[in-house]
Amino acid sequence: MYLVQDLMTREVFTLKRTDSLRAARSMMSLARIRHIPIVNDKKHFLGLVTHRDLLAATISRFAEVDKSVQDEIDSGIPIHEIMRRDVTTVTPTTTLRETADLLLHHKYGCLPVLEDGILRGIITEADFLKLTIRLLDILDAENKTP
């Protein structure tokens, strides 16, 4: 049986609750990620900010607001004002089957991995896609064997 700890990303980009919306937007852009766990100084999980949350907090392009104005606005908004607090999480010993079901049936993009409230990692749809590619490669190799 395969577990979350076998697939999860352990080195996770995080922010503190007092960091700004601008910091979240910058981190997502530079690190090319779509989910940022929010933690305290002891790595206790507090919430999650997603790319979708950032889009919802952005002034519409139709408002014709200059990027520098948007950056200034974003700098004044602490991340705790937009973070999700009611986040479904898993543990390192949750099965991959159960985790995949959660992602699929609830349309989550990620699940933070917690152990006693401490963030240990994150597991995303992309992790499962990478696993699928590896499994397909194995199946293809087996089918080529005479």
Q: What is the pLDDT of residues 116-137, one digit of tens each?
A: 999 999 999 999 999 999 999 9
Q: Which residues pair with 50 in a beta bridge?
A: 35
> 27 burial class (0-12, 13-18, 19+ CB within 10 angstroms)?
middle
Domains belonging to the chain, first-starting first, are 4-144 (3.10.580.10)
Tell me the pTM.
0.87
Tokens 């999980």 identify what position?
Answer: 45
Q: What is the pLDDT of residues 9-46, one digit of tens each?
A: 999 999 999 999 999 999 999 999 999 999 999 999 99
Q: What is the pLDDT of residues 87-115, one digit of tens each?
A: 999 999 999 999 999 999 999 999 999 99
In angstroms, the CA 103 to CA 79 distance is 24
In angstroms, the CA 25 to CA 15 distance is 11
- Alpha helices by DSSP H, the chain: 21-31, 51-56, 67-75, 96-106, 125-144
